[in-house]
Amino acid sequence: MPEKNVRLEVMQQLEPKVDGFIDEFLIPVEKIWQPTDFLPNSQQETFYDEVTEIRELAKELPYDFWVVLVGDTITEEALPTYESWLMDVEGINQHDGGTAWSRWVRYWTGEENRHGDVLNKYLYLSGRVNMIEVERTTQHLINDGFDIGTDRDPYKNFVYTSFQELATYISHNRVAKLARQHGNKSLAKMCKIISGDEMRHYNAYSTFVKEIFSIDPSQMMIAFKDMMKHKIVMPAMFLRESGDSIGAAFDEFSNAAQRIGVYTGQDYIDIMKKLIVRWDIEKITGLTDEAEKARDFVMSLPARMERINQRIKISEKITHFKWVNPAMVK
């Protein structure tokens, strides 16, 4: 049977479990936090005082921090790209009434939508960033789309989302810690709760992969190897400022994140190690010869990447972005 048809059959076999996954890993609308839980209430007399406090506390945050926070916000706000990509994955059919898988994608999108919403409103109220440039970059990122090397393959897409959700957990959690160190408890709380969402989503997508390993271990192993071999690209890989070419801002944004320890090359390697453990890669049995070779590749890759990572030097030169005026921050 063609590989594509096998993948579709596996997705259909898992579909009866999807509503259970929604109940286990996602939170009903009436019970989950909303952006206004963490922002000044415009209906209250204290609104202006609370905005003033946000603006005063924002003055203590350094330049690279703002670059990373803006980049993270833009990445979250490019959600239409991610939803449309996932809706096109083999086995996730939103037509003719949809499926449990398409319902998962919509519910997941609904949770993710709150992240960019709350961060964007915080940036606006902080008075520290050039919002028109942030908005232009966001529109460019959505316009430019992305190509994560998965095609419509659900196996590869679920490897990608497992990896990426854990990466965003790390990033938001580290931003929360830095905000707290600078005395900004409200921003810290905001980023911390976002990171909690990302961890739940990681647990969900990594569970999907684990389920596939139990049904089609050889092809799932090969898909995992393919994604690791070609490397996981970031959703913001095409990040650019107004007037620049596609992707021109991504490297400097990435350097800023590494300089302040929000997301580093070592984090990439550590995530790979966590996935290897999460999916019991070393213990999986019944593999074909090709899949055994794929496992050998995956198991040896972290050590190889650590040797390379040790030789990489990150520039200490701070790049100024149109998003953040140096005169407005420390």
Residues annotated as catalytic are 33, 76, 112, 115, 165, 168, 197-198, 201
Of 248, 188, 189, the residue nearest 65 (C-alpha): 188
Count how many residues are written for the chain.
Answer: 330
Q: How far, in Å, CA of 34 to CA of 123, rounded?
A: 17
Residue among 139, 15, 119, 33 nearest 68 (CA):
119
Distance between CA atoms of 119 and 288, rounded to whole angstroms?
47
Task: Give 102's contacts (C-beta < 8 A, 6+ positions apart).
Answer: 87, 92, 93, 94
* Pair of tokens at residue 22: 């929604």
Query: Which amino acid, 5?
Result: N
Residue 215 to residue 279: CA distance in whole angstroms: 13
Q: Rounded to an integer, what distance in angstroms lies between the CA atom of residue 186 and that of residue 154?
A: 38
Query: Are 313 and 276 contacting, i.e. CB atoms less than 8 angstroms apart?
Result: no
**3: its two tokens:** 């590989």
Residue 269 contacts residue 300 (beta carbons within 8 Å): no
Question: Mind giving me the DSSP string for 165-224?
Answer: HHHHHHHHHHHHHHHHHTT-HHHHHHHHHHHHHHHHHHHHHHHHHHHHHHH-HHHHHHHH
